[in-house]
Amino acid sequence: MAGLPALIADIGGTHARFALVDESGAIGEMMVYRCREHAGPAEAAQLFLDHMKPAKAPVAGAFAVASALSGDRVEMTNAAWSFSIAELQARLGFERLQVVNDFTAVALSVRHIHGADLMTMGGGAPLAGAPIAVLGPGTGLGVSGLVPTPSGEWVALATEGGHVTMAATDPREAQVLDILRARYGHVSAERVLSGPGLVNLYQTLCTLKGVTPAAEVTPPWVLEQAGAGGCPVCADTLRMFFAMMGTVAGNLALSLGAKGGVFIAGGILPRVKDAFRTSDFRRRFEDKGRFGPYLSEIPVWLILHPEPAFAGLAAMCRRDEPIGE
């Protein structure tokens, strides 16, 4: 199979995950490295290959990165890594190296994820051949889509949709965004719908309630406290997070005409999936005035697969040609 065996990598703001795709197209063991502990992706990739000692060295690579892509130079959005795609390909000795936005890879995965790896979040049946929306909060807010071509192929969109302006839908959200606007100037969706966004929401709600925030706040702490019931502000934070997710997901579904469905990925929501399922997400997703009925028919799924980007990257490697964007 052309382009195999291959090295695949999902490089985020905090961690870089590597695995091999063998000549049959199967994904092997994954290893995770902290980005800040390595000079760049070449060093981390070589460490992985030295550890795995594959019988046949990979001839190609497919890397997903949490960054906007334009030309050969990659500047990571939420990490210190910066690299040249051509130089990285040469250092690793690959015949071909494809580098895509991380949520482009997730978008390519959704047609290969089924069953227990998905949790239904309401709506009707997907319309065959219609555009598909993909988004998800993690270190940042990833946004992509999958669009069909007249030839029957699917094209994944490389976007920076997480940086669209966040809009309020009620006075309380307006107060939250006013405080964040005073701090940041522009308040993107990512400022509230991400790991750091959870902290922003918590601190802002503390301000509005006249409560002193905890000294050291992390996204896992907010999630844990919200689940344990010992922190009312954390619970409010999570409720607002879910509702704002509904607003942004509904906006994306309208923008793409995503009758093929909406897939939500990222590392945050699967950890609180039961609370998310019973949250205000779906109501807010459909709360678009006269287009409420249009959105009510669109299915939404939460991706529970542990590494959806790998499924998309492996699909790229199994093709004879690079995926168009």
Binding residues for ATP: 9-14
Tokens of 55: 């019988």
The Cα-based distances of 216 to 195, 212, 222 in angstroms read 14, 12, 10
The amino acid present at 170, given as its one-letter code, is D
In this structure, are residues 197 and 191 in contact, taking their beta carbons and an 8 Å threshold? yes
What are the φ/ψ torsions at residue 319 (nearest 5 degrees)? -90, 155
β-sheet with 300-303: strand ranges across? 118-120, 300-303, 262-264, 132-137, 141-148, 154-156
91 contacts: CB under 8 Å, gap ≥ 6: 42, 46
Dump the DSSP string for 104-172: HHHHHHGGG--GGGEEE-S--PPPTT--EEEEEESSSEEEEEEEE-TTS-EEE----GGGSBP--SSHH
312 contacts: CB under 8 Å, gap ≥ 6: 64, 104, 105, 106, 107, 108, 109, 110, 112, 156
State whether residue 283 is helix, strand or coil. helix
The separation between CA 204 and the C-alpha centre of its own chain, rounded to angstroms, equals: 24
The binding site consists of 9-14
What are the φ/ψ torsions at residue 286 (nearest 5 degrees)? -90, -5
Please tell me the distance from the alpha carbon of residue 174 to that of residue 167, in angstroms, as a whole number. 8
The Cα-based distances of 318 to 110, 126, 146 in angstroms read 16, 26, 18
